[in-house]
Structure 1
């Protein structure tokens, strides 16, 4: 356990359980140099407890890097609630989690993530103020999509020589809240959409509303396109799939898209430009962090513009140094976090 924490430079790891509600939760606080740790709460089934802990630790580290490069006065953290096979009262479970967060005295602020909703955050908010993306605060997904759209334009400029997306082929893997909102923005910009999702209803909706072309989930990565936009769960780019890619760039909303750091080098060697996921998908974090601090929507929209500027900076360093953008982004973030 401590070896895992040391390898990730994790500051704190908290575990709790509440037999009365079935709560089994993990909170990983990675780095608080820039401010209190902020990160979403996942509510998912895991094959074992170690997998849940590893997920929380890795995601917390990514949140530190994301907050640093987004120019936020926040640290990085993540919560994982292991979803039980059966729960009698979901609201009571999340209220118990809220009481747990309160014991950390503001060192961690939670938000929505995979498997959780604004309604869950409302339950948490009954017992702690260290929570955002409640019903009152609003869903951060549209702002994540806005940031990814801006990042795709910056990526197109760097890789294809122009930020006019009209006529480009973009393959979107995953049509959840962020993926579908991104698809809508790309459609409005004249993009030809290729889409896949395990939910056939979402695919059909994209076909009917956006003129998208459906592609089987297991075939999308190998489908020719200009830009691949992974918008589902992580580790989609691994030793098996990276060789199948037939795109010029990868720029999407999913967290932890690379199964391991060396995948970034393989993409670089293949001439595929990679938008570091925690940079391009930081719009949601920007939204929840600034809303939690009471900032206006106008201020949040202005701050979102930093995403494309930061990506352009990273791509310039990548080209000059002949290094993957992922390596460049890590170095820039670590400079901010550790000096």
Structure 2
């Protein structure tokens, strides 16, 4: 259990909000990955416990969404935010964006409501990081929440206040294009008619992905922790229903993880029926070595931070000198299949996993920027 350091790095931002630099404590964790800075914000009076992890600012300010989730404890939240933040660095680099990677989590149950006072405290925390970290929506953080935070501090993207709005449909579009590229590479099919896709998670991105897949003629099997959304998908898309524990082993050509991470592991990979894994969830691999387990089974893995980069590309466009240009943003999202094609080709030529190739490309771009 990490313990708060009262001696160093603790400062009061308001009468109730304290921000603590916990970089030193986080360094001891396996997923630290050389983060530049990790801070915790605590405001018991307003119900806030939050962590912001800034992995890298080599390419530019760190950009990454804020996730609101009822973690079992602070340590679980810290591990998740470190992994997510590291992934954002790679996502920005491999997408050719002049941005670094960061992420934030708030320990709370969004389904129980997000008190305005809690968001106010979080907005005050964000304001202290305005020069190094920019946030946006994520799981549990709505467009309305982002709009409110933007009234408190400017380092919030994906808003309706002159911004690009909800990034989820754009994430879904990039995921759809990447899934189609993976099917072409592994299954030799140029279209998705009759292709069986198992979709895990029917949130904003998962649902929008199902809409695109259904329109393209794919046969869907779906699951979600919210049974009403599963029933709606069965009605709307003619989808087969599966239990949350059964979806990974569903009879499918493609598995599309679109919920939380860590679903592909030593335990679950042997049961997969799909020949392609292509979904929008972050950190789909429980551990890096799981990429090799997929490859050894002949399963083509579309690295998550490559295929799901559409939302990041979209909100990043708000930070360009000329302001947000949707056509330019969507044109860049349309290059996601090209990046995946390069990854798939290099993996086939070298015998490395697709995850290893993606990491190498991201590292090459970061190293070039550091040298420059």
Tell me which residue corresponds to 2:198: 171
Of 314, 328, 331, the match for 2:360: 331
Tell me which residue corresponds to 1:316: 345
- State the Cα distance separating 1:310 from its structure 2 match: 0.3
Aligned residue for 1:42, secondary structure, equals strand
Tell me which residue corresponds to 1:13: 38
Between 142-151 and 41-50, report the one with greater CA deviation. Answer: 41-50
Aligned residue for 2:129, secondary structure, equals coil
Aligned residue for 1:228, secondary structure, equals strand
- State the Cα distance separating 1:302 from its structure 2 match: 0.3
- 1:313-339 deviation line (CA, Å, top 9, x unaligned): 000000001111011101111111234
* TM-score in terms of structure 1 length: 0.96
Tell me which residue corresponds to 1:239: 266
Tell me which residue corresponds to 1:230: 257
Alignment check: 8 A CA contact 2:32 2:82 kept: no
After superposition, where does 1:13-32 map in structure 2 within 5 Å?
13-32=38-57
Tell me which residue corresponds to 1:133: 158
Alignment check: 8 A CA contact 1:18 1:96 kept: yes
Of 295, 299, 306, the match for 1:272: 299
CA RMSD of aligned residues (A): 1.8
2:56, 2:308 → 1: CA distance? 19
2:158, 2:296 → 1: CA distance? 40
Seen in structure 2, the aligned counterparts of structure 1 residues 86 and 63 have a Cα distance that, compared at 3 Å, is closer
1:6, 1:221 → 2: CA distance? 25
- State the Cα distance separating 1:86 from its structure 2 match: 11
Tell me which residue corresponds to 1:150: 177
After superposition, where does 1:1-339 map in structure 2 within 5 Å?
1=25, 2-4=27-29, 7-83=32-108, 90-136=115-161, 137=163, 138-293=165-320, 294-339=323-368
* TM-score in terms of structure 2 length: 0.88
The higher relative CO (CA closer than 8 Å, separation ≥ 6) is in: 1
- State the Cα distance separating 1:134 from its structure 2 match: 2.1
Seen in structure 2, the aligned counterparts of structure 1 residues 180 and 21 have a Cα distance that, compared at 3 Å, is same
Alignment check: 8 A CA contact 1:8 1:61 kept: yes
Aligned residue for 1:164, secondary structure, equals coil
The count of residues paired between Structure 1 and Structure 2 equals 339
